[in-house]
Structure 1
Amino acid sequence: MTPEKMSDATEALCRKAPVIPVLIVEKASDAKPLAEALIAGGLPCLEVTLRTEAALEVIAEMAQVAGGHVGAGTLLTPQDVENAKKSGATFGVSPGATDRILDAAEANDLPLLPGAATATEAMQLLEKGYRIQKFFPAEANGGAPALKALASPLPQISFCPTGGVSLANAPDYLGLSNTLCVGGSWVAPTKAFEAKDWKTIENLAREAVTRLS
Structure 2
Amino acid sequence: MNGLINPDGAGILAVKLSGVGDEDVQLIDVTPLSLGVWCRGDVMAVLIPRNSPIPTKKQRLFSTSIDNITSLAIYVCQGERGNASENYLLGELDLSGFPPAPRGKLGSILSKAEIEKMIADAERFKLEDEAHVKKVMAHRALDQCVSKMRTKIKDYKVRLSLVKVGLNVKDLVSLDHQIKETLEWLDENPDAEQAELEDKKSELYNICIPKKFHHAAKDLLKIIFEYQ
What is the TM-score normalised by the length of structure 1? 0.22
**Relative contact order, higher structure (CA 8 A, sep 6+):** 1
Give the greater-gyration-radius structure (CA): 2
What is the TM-score normalised by the length of structure 2? 0.21
Query: If each structure's helix is expressed as a fraction of its own residues, which one has the higher value?
Result: 2
